[in-house]
Amino acid sequence: MLKISAKGHSMPESPIRKLVPFAEAAKSRGVKVHHLNIGQPDIETPEVALKAVRDFSEEVVVYSHSAGNLSLRKRLSYYYKTVDIELGPEEIIVGSGASEALLFAFQSIMDPEDEVIIPEPFYANYNGFAKNAGINVKPIFSSIETGFSLPPIEDFEKNISDKTKAILVCNPNNPTGYLYSRQELETLRDIVKKHDLFLIADEVYREFTYDGKVHYSAMYLDGIEENTILIDSVSKRYSACGVRVGWLASKNKELMATALKFAQARLSPPSFGQIAAEAAVDTPEEYFVKVKEEYLARRNAVVEGINKIKDAYCPKPLGAFYVMAKLPIDDSDKFCKWLLEDFSFEDQTVMLAPATGFYSSPGRGKDEVRISYVLKLDDLKSSVKVLEEALKVYPGRT
């Protein structure tokens, strides 16, 4: 019988993409839709990166090294030196985005049915990578009440079994914006050391920290050098999501040799993207100063705006460009669809990400949404106003 695979059936559909047709329909009715649902920044890609691509002067666009161009990996090694992390070019494997790099990491350390522990809510695509690798995610609940800080150590311990191979944390966090402290990372170090687990640290938002807080990398942790796998990317740092350049990095030689076999099987990461990524490391400091100022103003506008809305609440996160908001609603999926299908205020509405997609425990996130502050300040302020008006009339208000 001609049929698709059980694996294909099990692949999750993006909780956000399900709403796209409703957003399209709203637009065709003349309603302006503010997109607060995605992690696609509106910030300009640094000129130095675009120029490098425009200056491409080779005659043939050839395969690169399977681990990525050596010149790029050397440049990344230099970047890490500037943030006090020692990583040689041979300790880095470049993928088609952090997506592929994380998949290489999963496949290199886990077999089907093995488990990775991830504090939830977590980035929805982790589910897709896990399904792809045939592994299972064990979520550990973190609460909006504590601002999504690290769950207590006992919650990790009681979920560790023979199948557990790794703990994955995203820091600063998508979707919560939470910035894990040095102390929390040291707690994670103690757990992975005690139970001989890998610690996968997704640090693609490492540059985006606010209120004077400094990012504490998992690569700073002593005594678990063989356990730590760093996932990183140029997508968010240089607002260059489309170049598809991310990487994994680790001092564990056996792991890197294995990941390289997966990398070799697909030949190489994209050449033009690597050129952009290599040049992007030279982005002047002013760029980040401006970008961070902009994000900070946006975060403040969103957080203050949401907290002024009756019965709405959102913590003030210290990193990334997301906030999770708790709203007086019955069902975030229904609410987000309703916003697009049945509501507008002054011919505007907002597209939000229902938080249910970021929890893997059923039933969680029904009264929460994720807001990406990737729009200009004026649009963000209008969006908060739209949300406030919407909550006044939403039939499923609780």
Q: Is 372 in the site for its own copies (CB under 8 A)?
A: no
Of 335, 301, 337, 332, the closest CA to residue 316 belongs to 301
* CA end-to-end distance (rounded Å), the chain: 49
Go through the chain and tell me how many residues it has.
398
Nearer to its own copies, 41 or 315 (CB): 41
Residues from 86 through 115 that contact its own copies (CB under 8 A): 96-97, 99-100, 103, 107-112, 114
Residues from 59 through 88 that contact its own copies (CB under 8 A): 59-64
Q: Is 149 in the site for its own copies (CB under 8 A)?
A: no
Which H helix or E strand runs over 294? helix 285-308
Give strand ranges (E) for 250-373.
322-326, 348-351, 353-354, 368-372
User: What is the C-alpha separation between 233 and 154, in angstroms, rounded?
Assistant: 32
Site string for its own copies, 158-197 (x = CB under 8 A): --------------------------------------xx
Residue from 35, 48, 71, 128 in contact with its own copies (CB under 8 A): 128
User: What is the C-alpha separation between 215 and 207, in angstroms, rounded?
Assistant: 8
Least distance (Å) from its own copies to the CB of residue 35?
Answer: 12
Least distance (Å) from its own copies to the CB of residue 271?
Answer: 3
Q: Is 8 in the site for its own copies (CB under 8 A)?
A: yes
Residues from 44 through 63 that contact its own copies (CB under 8 A): 44-45, 49-50, 53-56, 59-63
Q: Is 376 in the site for its own copies (CB under 8 A)?
A: no
Residue from 37, 164, 250, 268 in contact with its own copies (CB under 8 A): 268
Nearer to its own copies, 48 or 391 (CB): 48
Q: Is 287 in the site for its own copies (CB under 8 A)?
A: no
Q: Determine the distance from the C-alpha atom of residue 204 to the mean position of all C-alpha atoms in its chain, rounded to a whole number.
A: 7
Residues from 195 through 234 that contact its own copies (CB under 8 A): 196-198, 226-227
The b/e string for 154-171 (b: 16+ C-beta within 10 A; e otherwise) is eebeeebeeebbbbbbbb
Of 350, 51, 357, 351, the closest CA to residue 175 belongs to 357
